[in-house]
Structure 1
Amino acid sequence: MQPTSSRRRFLSVAAVGAAAGLAGCSESADEPGGQATTDSSGTETATTGDLPESVGLETLATGFDVPLDVAFAPETDRRYVADQQGRVFVHESGGLREEPFLDLRDTVTVGSETGLLGIALHPDFAENRRAFVRYSAPPRDGTPGGYSHTFVLAEFEVGDDGRRAKRDSERTILEIPEPQGNHNAGSVVFGPDGYLYVGVGDGGSGGDRGAGHVEDWYDAVGGGNGQDVTENLLGSVLRIDVDGESSGDRNYAIPDDNPFAGDGAGLPEHFAWGFRNPWRMAFDRGRLLVADVGQSGYEEVSLVERGGNYGWNVREGTHCYSADDCPDRTPDDVRGGERLRDPVIEYPHSGEGVTGVSVIGGQVYRGSALPDLSGTYLFADLAARGRLFAAMPSGGDGGGDGGLWTTRVVDAADDDAGKVGRVYSFGRDADGEIYVLASGDDGGGLHRVVPAE
């Protein structure tokens, strides 16, 4: 049956799911460890060239509950839309298919920040029909008592026509115990190297502290899964090889050049760390852009490199977190004194222009429909209110001076603004065109960015 969503249900989802913090936002400073701030200093907001003031949104499908991710078939005009409630739907040129691609409602735990959170197709999907999904499940064996749920990354076989996953083919790739119900990230993307990159939040609660949060080297703020690489896989971007030979209890291999591959100094799945809630990742010409949701003051997007430490919970963006002063490196006895990396995009929770409560990572535009957007990173905030954001390195596409990128608001044109009351995710097809998954006047929808009429 095609997904439906009444106006009442949409309002309930928007108020309870999204506003409660689907992407891990903190809309007040009352969360434990939070810090109230209205200072927007450090955020470079400027005009990015000749970008359009507004863009249109061509609606492809509506009626979803909370659409969180989209993947694109490489061999045909087909899109797979993952809905938080536990189903993946197929959209083709003829419209939205009634039969879902995959139905996991019997096993997915759905809450404000849990559910079916991500989907990725194998780079050779046209030949091998392998699909990967990331979802939240009830506590499984090995999850400590009192923990909220289990993070699951699973693989499914897909039928030859590409329209239906084989439900009984599920193979668990990775499980991670999750102490709290929030900060679950959910993005899974294949890189140009063929490896699977997996975003993992810090375990939830506030300030990266409390039950399930280990101690780290930074005494000013207790806890710190984001700064730990030995005790768990939380607060990091992981990189695994789903095509390599499995070893031990792993259903994947470790890439030889992962930072801790074979040296025992950290868990070998870690690729980069120091994240609070990396909500959506995207590759563009070999660069990995990761949006990390802030605590209560600043939102950030980083260019992520192998072995990079992106600061949480020592810093929130470029600012000290819950301290008057903070270091810019780890101590010498912590991984050799690695530096804490600054984001390339930062914006505050209050002020004018680019502001919000929870960053929604986007995509770099490489399409042909809007040439003025070429090379621009298009992203948003959960509280979109009809707005998208655009950013580009100060030195232009592929350049930059190492500082914060210039950012500006790009409005959804006219009646299209009502389609993006809440933005959840972005996608980019093989032609470089960008898609927005959002909730608006007609419920949850999939929209393609087009020129404004």
Structure 2
Amino acid sequence: MLTNPVTRRRALQSGTLLLGTLAGCSTDQDPQSPTESEPADGGDDPFADLQLRGELLAEGFTSPVAAVVPEPDRVFVADQTGQVHLVDDGDQQPEPFIDVSDRLVELSGVTEQGLLGIVFHPDYPDDDRVFVRYSAPPRSNTPDDFSHTFVLSSFRTDADGGAADPDSETTLLEIPEPQANHNAGAITFGPDGYLYVSVGDGGGGSDQGTGHVEDWYDATAGGNGQDVTENLLGSILRIDVDVDADDNGGGEDRNYAIPDDNPLVGADGLDEHYAWGFRNPWRMSFGPDGRLFAADVGQNAYEEVDVVERGGNYGWNVREGTHCFEADSCPDETPDGDPLVDPIVEYPHDGGGVSGVSVTGGYLYDGDAIPSLQGTYVFADWQADGELFVARERSEGLWPVTAVPVEDVGPFVPTFGRDAAGELLVCTSEEAGVSGSSGAVYRLQSA
């Protein structure tokens, strides 16, 4: 386990080539001055002596990318290879729940394709639908030179709450994906009952190339992150899965409706967009206060976490974090006067203090097991190597971030979960890619 900061930074730097798929393609841009962590009140770091550990819940997965708890003591774990497993708390032997591996593109190595998200309807089990996001081979509406198709579907579960029926699939969204990477994939229900869907910019480097459209910003070519009219890429979407479009007066043949207060309803743009300007929002979650947190993977210099608001533009590919991307200067608003929203958290790929290569979003902690974490945002870098990150809220500017040692978990952290009591689950793996069976799920505890 690497806990020495210098050793860890060297390990992260040596892993950059391996992580080219997840963290992005390299460019000639040099990282700018790193953002150093500092206590919010100017005093001592309250987490300087904090150590965490993982209490094993289940193991034997390949690459666990989602852990959801629709009912107390029942944890559903989505494996990137296409399987969803049910873990009854206290029983470390997972049970099969649904397998969609026969609907996926071929997976190998370090990949961002596969089964990427799962969430149950808020009224489960009265509403027995489970929603699944996966990468399918190209479908009929996918251009010939595109990589694959983004699919969002729902399935029905058995009446007794057992396995889901693989033949009950209802497709909600199909989005053509030009490249194999930057697929995001997190799905979650908000306090408003609507389904939020994270969508990456379509892959490649710099939000450019095949499948990337022109936008308003001339300093860099492309891209989908700054466009809301041509496609649904580079955004977080919001849809109503409880009403068909026809029932909502939409006159569309689709299995969802558009919330009336989505920001582009009646304006220029596709109505599904809720917020945009994202590169690869890898994991998102709602806090107990209703705020939506999304971690956006940077290209080769900075990682960021955003608090997502309706109609917000989060800057990609004008900016990477708070820094101009591939330009000496850049605007802080669009030509229409809409601001480019700053992240709440930023850390560099190389530099002093907290650093890493690819952010993994977590949760605003509201459990009781670790009192010192109350009200903090707990997250990680994908190549965690024995550390998790804790960000403390401040009224303005970037939130200070502390790296906290964590014992008994694997070196890679693809996702977090939260149980019914508000305690955090950490999904880890010993392998960087989709191979082996070293994936495991832990409940976070004080060491």
The two structures have a TM-score, normalised by structure 2, of 0.89
| 1:308 counterpart = 2:318 | no
CA distance in 1, matches of 2:213, 2:272: 18
Change in Cα spacing, 1:98 to 1:323, as seen in structure 2 (3 Å) is closer
Aligned partner of 1:361 in structure 2 is: 361
CA contact (8 A) 2:384 2:411 kept: yes
What letter matches 2:76 in structure 1? Y
CA distance in 2, matches of 1:34, 1:391: 30
| 1:69 counterpart = 2:66 | yes
Deviations 1:211-249 (A, max 9, x none): 000000111000110000000000000000001232313
| Per-residue deviation, 1:406 | 1.1
| Per-residue deviation, 1:87 | 0.3
CA distance in 1, matches of 2:47, 2:402: 11
What letter matches 2:286 in structure 1? F
Aligned partner of 1:101 in structure 2 is: 97
SS at match of 1:372: helix
SS at match of 1:426: strand
Aligned partner of 2:331 in structure 1 is: 327
| 1:351 counterpart = 2:345 | no
| Per-residue deviation, 1:352 | 2.8
| Per-residue deviation, 1:49 | 3.1
What letter matches 1:424 in structure 2? P
Aligned partner of 1:91 in structure 2 is: 87
CA distance in 2, matches of 1:32, 1:350: 14
Identity of aligned residues (%): 55
Aligned partner of 1:25 in structure 2 is: 23
Change in Cα spacing, 1:21 to 1:197, as seen in structure 2 (3 Å) is farther
Match of 1:249 among 230, 253, 259: 253
Counterparts of 1:104-123 in structure 2, within 5 Å, are 104-109=100-105, 110-111=107-108, 112-123=111-122
CA distance in 2, matches of 1:18, 1:167: 37
SS at match of 1:127: coil
Aligned partner of 2:269 in structure 1 is: 266
CA contact (8 A) 1:147 1:178 kept: yes
| 1:451 counterpart = 2:441 | no
Deviations 1:298-338 (A, max 9, x none): 0000111000000000000000000000000111xxxx320
Which segments of 5 or more consecutive residues in structure 2 lack a partner in the other structure?
A: 1-13, 247-251, 432-436
Match of 2:411 among 411, 421, 427: 421
Deviations 1:10-58 (A, max 9, x none): xxxxx99994456x203xxxx3645232520x45444653575211110
What letter matches 1:410 in structure 2? V
| Per-residue deviation, 1:128 | 1.3
Aligned partner of 1:53 in structure 2 is: 50
SS at match of 1:408: strand
What letter matches 1:211 in structure 2? T
Change in Cα spacing, 1:19 to 1:158, as seen in structure 2 (3 Å) is farther
Aligned partner of 1:133 in structure 2 is: 132
Aligned partner of 1:337 in structure 2 is: 337
What letter matches 1:100 in structure 2? P
Aligned partner of 1:81 in structure 2 is: 77
Aligned partner of 1:36 in structure 2 is: 30
Change in Cα spacing, 1:55 to 1:94, as seen in structure 2 (3 Å) is closer
- Which stretch shifts more, 159-168 or 284-293? 159-168
Deviations 1:344-386 (A, max 9, x none): 0000001233100000001111111111111111100011111
CA distance in 2, matches of 1:272, 1:55: 34
Change in Cα spacing, 1:34 to 1:375, as seen in structure 2 (3 Å) is farther
Deviations 1:74-117 (A, max 9, x none): 2x410100000010001003525554101111111235110000
Aligned partner of 1:9 in structure 2 is: none
- Which stretch shifts more, 56-65 or 157-166? 157-166
CA contact (8 A) 2:88 2:94 kept: no
| Per-residue deviation, 1:200 | 0.2
Aligned partner of 1:286 in structure 2 is: 290
CA contact (8 A) 1:67 1:84 kept: yes
SS at match of 1:141: coil
| 1:403 counterpart = 2:397 | yes
SS at match of 1:226: helix
Deviations 1:161-219 (A, max 9, x none): 32300110000010100000000001000000000000000000000000000000111
Taking only aligned residues, the RMSD between alpha carbons, in angstroms, comes to 2.0
CA distance in 2, matches of 1:372, 1:98: 32
CA contact (8 A) 2:27 2:300 kept: no
SS at match of 2:58: strand
CA contact (8 A) 1:68 1:117 kept: yes
What letter matches 1:175 in structure 2? E
Aligned partner of 2:420 in structure 1 is: 430
Which segments of 5 or more consecutive residues in structure 1 lack a partner in the other structure?
A: 1-14, 395-399
Change in Cα spacing, 1:354 to 1:50, as seen in structure 2 (3 Å) is closer
SS at match of 1:183: coil
CA distance in 2, matches of 1:451, 1:170: 41
CA distance in 2, matches of 1:259, 1:383: 36
Aligned partner of 1:5 in structure 2 is: none
